[in-house]
Amino acid sequence: MPPAAARTAPPVQVIAHRGSSHALPEHTLAAYRRALDEGADAVECDVRVTADGHLVCVHDRRIGRVSNGRGTVSAMTLAELEAYDFGAWKTGRPSTDPELRGVLRLERLLELVVDCGRPVDLAIETKHPVRFRGRVEAELLAMLERFKIGPEREGDRPSARIMSFSSIALNRVAAAAPDYRRVFLIERMLPLLGRLREGGPLPGGARIAGPGIDLIRAKPDLVPRLRELGHEVHVWTVDEPADVELCLELGVAAIITNKPAEVLKQLGR
């Protein structure tokens, strides 16, 4: 049988979820650096806002799972968040590497990607869309503009797309910066999915659907239907070889994974 990559066209994009986060602590600069070294086509990150208005890369509302601190990101200042160790929970020892210490500011991630010497996409997911009335999306778009990261790759410059489970967040991005591609994330069968199957639009004018792998395993026919309707499909979080194979068979455009090196290897790259 030909290598998996040869059976798909165009080649599936490999997106490092929270960095190379199986190997290294998620959302740390070290995990993103590793993902870029491993050859990931894109990196995914979750973005939250601190009490003093800084964008930081943290998945959970609270920092207890991924640091030696406690508290809610949006109620803490950047300085407070920078004082904690975001690596030790995974490595099992206090971090001496500065790339594992302190919360990761989105700015630092953008610098890393811009300076990595090859074009890479950023898949940025905004969290808590309702509570801050668009502040996260507004700050994010301003930051992308400052870094000259547009919706398309230009030379070695990265591009960005914006992802959310929330149609409110995607609508905001559509209104403020319609050129940025939007990804509507889907976790489970919602009434909305029925409408999608009937040909209804994705929320927020998104042209990319982002279903979870659990949903795809349960409803594999969703992918061909979404593709038939003209949407790209980016699936998360795909770490098992059999799931990678399923994604390839279904013709997804992107695989979002905690294990970019393994997936790239499976794709013959």
Task: Using CB under 6 A, list all residues that contact ligand G3P.
Answer: 17, 44, 46, 59, 125, 185, 210, 236, 256
Compute the distance between CA of residue 86 and CA of residue 95 in angstroms, rounded to an integer.
Answer: 8
Q: Is 121 in the site for Ca ion (CB under 5 A)?
A: no
- Among ligand G3P, Ca ion, none, residue 185 binds (CB under 5-8 Å by kind): ligand G3P
Binding piece for Ca ion, criterion CB under 5 A, among 46-54, 136-144, 171-179, 201-209: 46-54
Nearest CA to 31 among 41, 16, 46, 42?
16
Sign of the dihedral through C-alpha 7, 256, 194, 220? positive
Tell the smallest beta-carbon distance from residue 135 to Ca ion (Å).
19
Q: Which is catalytic among the residues 54, 59, 231, 234?
A: 59
| 125 part of the interface to Ca ion, by CB under 5 A | yes
CA torsion 27→31→33→36, rounded to 10°?
-100
Q: Which is nearer to ligand G3P, 6 or 128 (CB)?
A: 128
Looking at the Cβ atoms of 81 and 256, the one nearer to ligand G3P is 256
Q: Min. distance of Cβ 11 from ligand G3P in angstroms?
A: 19
Active-site annotation holds for 231: no
Question: Collapsing DSSP states into helix, strand and coil, what is residue 44?
Answer: strand
Among 257, 156, 167, CA closest to 209: 167
- Residue 262 as a binder of Ca ion (CB under 5 A): the answer is no
Shortest separation between residue 6's beta carbon and ligand G3P, angstroms: 26
Please state, in angstroms and as integers, the Cα–Cα distance from residue 40 to each residue in 35, 87, 129, 164, 259, following that order.
Answer: 6, 21, 28, 21, 10
Instruction: Give the other-Cβ count within 10 Å of 211's Cβ.
Output: 24
State the residue for tokens 């507004």.
138
- Regarding 46 and contact with Ca ion (CB under 5 A), the answer is yes
Q: Minimal distance in Å, beta carbon 47 to ligand G3P?
A: 10
So which residues are the catalytic ones? 17, 59
